[in-house]
Amino acid sequence: MTTHQEIIIKAEKRQVTGKKVKALRRQGILPGVIYGHKTEPLAIQMDAHSTGLIMGKLTGTSIVTLDVDGEKHTAIVRDRQRDVIYEELLHVDFLEISLKELLRATVAIELVGEAPVSKLGDVIINHVLTELDIEALPMDLPERIEVDISGIETVEDTITVADLNLGEKITIHTPEDEVIVTVGFVAAEVEGEEDEMAEGSAEPEVISAREAEDEE
């Protein structure tokens, strides 16, 4: 599991709303909003370039400090709107949180290590479950969960949610019987199959009407 690093995003209160927001984007300004934790939604604006660089490194549980005109807000990224063609950030929603209250989140599962079964050849490690539903205090929420596959020695071995040990501070809501990792076989090519397919795909002989009459 990875730990949290202090991330600060500079912002200002935003007065421009509605369709006029497009003009802000043309000026290199990224609009956003802060909501949640017993507060009224606060419209903000940030430098698009510097904020975009930071956003590229954040996960769903990354804790950020929004410095809005000197006023600090502790939050996580709840939603990002992007241009469907250019992938450019258009708007960011931040959820303000309390570090003293439990937070439920979906966290990515990352496989680490090397499975000994891979040395057998013709086998593949299947990463079945890629996310985990967990709950903890914000500072105890990992940005990702690492699952070690170095214990996978045979094709019968699996890793399930029940095999995880995230400590007493984290509650796992994903069912224990959910499978995270299995081992499968690589499909072997049948010898001669390509030749048969090639023969089957050969163009049929075309007989003209005159030739058909001659044959009759």
Contact 132, 107 (CB under 8 A): yes
Q: Of the candidates 42, 49, 52, which has an alpha carbon nearest to the alpha carbon of residue 17?
A: 42
Report the pLDDT averaged over residues 15-41. Answer: 91
The boundaries of every CATH 2.40.240.10 domain in the chain are: 8-96
CATH number of 103-185: 2.170.120.20
What is the pLDDT at residue 206? Answer: 44
* Average pLDDT score, the chain: 87
Report the pLDDT averaged over residues 83-92. Answer: 92
- 48, pLDDT greater than 60: yes
- 211, pLDDT greater than 60: no
Handedness of CA 15, 19, 23, 26 (dihedral sign): positive
Report the pLDDT averaged over residues 183-208. Answer: 58
Binning pLDDT at 50, 70 and 90, where does residue 214 land?
A: very low
What is the pLDDT at residue 39? Answer: 80
- 104, pLDDT greater than 60: yes
Tokens, residue 131:
């996310």
The fold for domain 8-96 equals: Ribosomal Protein L25; Chain P (2.40.240)
One-letter amino acid for residue 50 of the chain: S
* H or E stretch covering 112: strand 103-112
What is the pLDDT at residue 204? Answer: 47
Per the listing, tokens 């209250």 go with: 101
The larger pLDDT score, comparing residue 212 to residue 187, is at: 187
**Environment class of 179 (CB within 10 Å of its CB; exposed 0-12, middle 13-18, buried 19+):** middle
The boundaries of every CATH 2.170.120.20 domain in the chain are: 103-185
What is the pLDDT at residue 170? Answer: 97
